[in-house]
Structure 1
Amino acid sequence: MSEIKFYFNAPDRLTTACSITSKAVRQGHRILVHAPDTQLARRFDALLWTGQALSFVPHVAASSPLAPRTPVVIASDLDNAAHHDVLLNLADTPPQGFESFGMLIEIVSTDEADRQLARQRWQSFKRAGHTITAHDLAQRA
């Protein structure tokens, strides 16, 4: 069963996703970022290029021929995933097939609508019998 981690009280969901992605890559993980629409994928891609001044996080789109060799792959679905290490979900719903990944990361901002959708995802995972670890980002500030 996948390890599921919820990081909540993120000041900005995408900026936090970039930070967590960067940290995971430094720890040797490979991350598939589930960005269900093109606009979200582009915003995440741009943030990886500009987010941290002195670090570069190698990343490509799932359609790239370099996807199997790149630590971060941005995909709109999980079909033909380049790897099954860590899945970072930027969708509002649990992605189909997340169970094939060793770890699933969910990031929840302080926005009430985002929190409500995250509660629904949490309940869905709980009903399916998954163990969830919660990390309060407000306590780290």
Structure 2
Amino acid sequence: MTEVAFHFNVPDKLGYACRLLRKATGSGARVVVTGDAALLRSLDVELWSFSPLEFIPHCHAASAEAPVLAASPVILADSPRGTPHHEVLVNVGGPVPDGFERFERLIELVSVDDGDRQQARARWKHYADRGYAIRRHDLAGEAA
């Protein structure tokens, strides 16, 4: 069964996602990132520029050819359906990702924004109602 974790009170969702992806790919994990199209475009830009000495190889599922998708450790996708990786799924916001249950791990990133938090509550309820054990990581508590 998919391991589900929520990372709450993320002050800078894009910066946090970049650090999370750096750590995941550094350990050899292959990751699919889902979310709103505009947020994924911003994440794409951030992945190119967040660290002057590092680059996280990534591509967009909608525009990359099959060999590129298979070789990329990070895939940005509106939906994880049809992506070749099934290890880690990171949702940067929006609805429950279609097909999340195919992944070993799902990480939900939740900012301090009230709208984002409300959407996260709905996703939490969706997973809990289906029997998924959920781990909670509160970044506000970690910073204290």
TM-score range, shorter chain: over 0.9
Percent identity between the two aligned chains? 42
How far off is 1:139 after superposition?
3.1
Give CA-to-partner distance per residue, 1:31-70, whole Å, 9 cap, x none: 0011342x22210100111112322111011131211011
How far off is 1:76 after superposition?
1.2
> Which residue type is aligned with residue 97 of structure 2?
P
SS state at 1:4 partner: strand
Match of 1:14 in 2: 14
TM score, norm. by length of structure 1:
0.93
Q: Which runs of 5+ in 1 are unaligned?
A: none
> Which residue type is aligned with residue 14 of structure 1?
L
The Cα RMSD (Å) is 1.3
Is 2:48 the counterpart of 1:49?
Answer: yes
Is 2:100 the counterpart of 1:98?
Answer: yes
Q: For the residues of structure 2 that align with 1:31 and 1:111, how far apart are their CA atoms?
A: 25
Q: Paired residues, what number?
A: 140
1:55-70 → structure 2 map (5 Å cutoff):
55-62=54-61, 63-65=63-65, 66-70=68-72
Q: For the residues of structure 1 that align with 2:103 and 2:48, how far apart are their CA atoms?
A: 25
Q: For the residues of structure 2 that align with 1:13 and 1:36, how far apart are their CA atoms?
A: 13
Match of 2:89 in 1: 87
SS state at 2:127 partner: helix
Q: For the residues of structure 2 that align with 1:139 and 1:27, how far apart are their CA atoms?
A: 26
Maintained 8 Å contact 1:36/1:77:
no
